[in-house]
Amino acid sequence: MKIANILNALGLILIAFGVIILSPIIVALLEHEYASILPFVTASFCSVGLGFFFQKYGGFSRNFDDLRRNEGFLIVSLAWIVTGAVGAVPYLFYGLNPLDAYFESVSGITTTGATILMDFSLYPKDFFFWRSLSQWLGGMGIIVLFVAILPQFAVAGRQMFFAEAPGPTEEKITPRITHTAKALWLVYILLTVIEISFLVIAGMPFFDSVCNAFSTMAAGGFSPHPQSIMGYRNSMVTWIVTCFMFLAGSNFALQYRLLLHRNPNAMIKSEEFRFYSFIILTTSIILTGILFFGNRMGVLDSIRDSLFQIVSIITTAGFSSADFALWSVAAQTVLFTVMLVGGCAGSAGGGIKVTRILFGFKYLKREISQIVHPQAVLPIKIDHKTVPEDTRRQILGFLLFYIVLMTGSALAVTVIEGNVAVGLVGTAATIGNIGPGFGEIGPMGSFGGLTVLTKIIFIINMIVGRLELIPFLAMLHPDFWSFRK
């Protein structure tokens, strides 16, 4: 591992991030919230200053062509930790203590959407703009953004790109990784602009449309309204957000081929996308029946809220069109089930990912067949392609460690809080980057009342969950920390 590479890469990322963090000042000026300029100028100064500090001790090198895999893992991990800290600086000016500020910032940048805020009326518009913007930046990936905009990462970007990539496959849609990053961001920006337009047409205020569109496409869930999407009391808005959450949870590489190459077969033929759609449709029908017969809701309300909440939870967006913490145990069980699924590989969604769940079912089916036909050769195929041995091993390892980490976190939080619901659901919501859970941490609740230790555990869950465990697990091996000159 070469320390100079790590310091120089982090320095470049922090300098660029410091420029981006100035953008809420535009909102502050438009809204005449002049007191809010200082928090973002300070955060920018801290980010740029720290970036130059890292660059100085790294020798101001711009050559990352020899970047190794373990260096890429460490750069990605540190980038999320450090940008989360810099992003927390503005929150300190609004009365949040350091831990709560870091919790809110990490929740934003990892697109989790778990908030510690209790009274939204205490904060200006630029505050909420930064919350949503931080989610939008993290939705496609901090590293993917800087691989796209910083020419210094033209070669080394591959190691960092796939260290951050949301899913078990290394899929490129163009020959060069920088072009792939730009293509993904093009689709991301295009869909965001379209959603903003639709929300404005539906009657949502422009500022709210921008913030909610940022959070929707990031599968994040931060809304400037304290009651989330439910607070707008607009069915058209609910349906629009549902559609774009569905897209946010779908593979952006497939959407690139659909939008730019006009190839609808790319999505239709994707086994993962079909399975993703099947899960949403099936669980929505079940939840509709529960709400209609059990909760005595109207037919249209049951269909709308069921589909919205299923899509919101499976994509890990975390928006709410109703206070599902008040729903029956049966309804909450359905939601908790899709909480354990997540979005598609290559999407903004977190969680285990649909492709891993699909592989898991196929693996179990293969093992059952192997019992009856022990001599049979039964390869596991997805999209008519045999899943390579190294990918199979990585998926099984991921699923095992996900369960271990989730169990350990849930038990620890349960003991600390003395509440099983907070321990289990809170862990699932944070490690899956979903956001709200049930009860006191439900969609109309807050994580602000939790103990210091629980917040620290949940912060770790959010970062490790967003990094898909792999960089975290790699750093547990002693050989990872071998240094070179």
pLDDT tens column, 358-409: 999 999 999 999 988 888 888 899 888 888 888 888 888 889 999 999 999 9
What pLDDT is stored for residue 244 in this prediction?
A: 96
pLDDT digits 0-9 by tens, 79-137: 899 999 999 999 999 999 999 999 999 999 999 999 999 889 899 999 999 999 999 99
Say how many domains are in the chain.
Answer: 1
User: Nearest-CA neighbor of 258 among 309, 186, 364, 178?
Assistant: 186
Could you tell me if residue 430 is inside a domain?
yes
pLDDT at position 152 is 55
What pLDDT does 252 receive?
87
**230 pLDDT above the threshold of 90:** yes
Task: Give the pLDDT band (50/70/90) at residue 472.
Answer: confident
- Residue 237 lies inside a defined structural domain of this protein: no
Q: What does the pLDDT read at residue 257?
A: 85
Q: Which of 192-206, 379-393, 414-428 has the lowest mean pLDDT?
A: 379-393
Quick check: 337 pLDDT over 90?
A: yes
Confidence (pLDDT) at 165: 57
AA letter at 99: L
Residue 167 banded pLDDT, cuts 50, 70, 90 = low
The predicted pLDDT at position 444 comes to 85
Residue 168 has pLDDT above 70, yes or no: no
Query: What is the mean predicted confidence (pLDDT) over 406-419?
Result: 95
Note whether residue 375 is domain-resident. no
Per-residue confidence at 171, pLDDT binned at 50, 70, 90? Answer: low
Pick from 368, 256, 366, 273: nearest CA to 314: 273
Q: Does residue 119 lie within any of the structural domains?
A: no
Any idea which residue has 């449709």 for tokens? 281
Distance from C-alpha of 300 to C-alpha of 302, rounded to nearest angstrom: 5
Could you tell me the two tokens for 293? 């017969």
The reply to whether the predicted model has a pTM over 0.85 is: yes
CATH number of the structural domain spanning residue 409: 1.10.287
The answer to whether residue 226 is domain-embedded is no
Q: For residue 173, what pLDDT band results from cuts at 50, 70 and 90? A: low
In this structure, what are the phi and psi dihedrals at residue 199, rounded to the nearest 5 degrees?
A: -65, -40
State residue 53's pLDDT score.
92
Q: How confident is the model at residue 241 (pLDDT cuts 50, 70, 90)?
A: very high
Least confident of 179-183, 318-322, 353-357, 401-405: 179-183
Separation of alpha carbons 273 and 250, rounded Å: 7
Q: Average pLDDT of the chain?
A: 88
Residue 159, in any domain of the structure:
no
Residue 374 has what pLDDT?
Answer: 87
What integer pLDDT is reported at residue 64 of this predicted model? 61
Residue 457 belongs to some domain of the structure: yes
Any domain includes 415: yes
* Domain extent at residue 466: 388-481
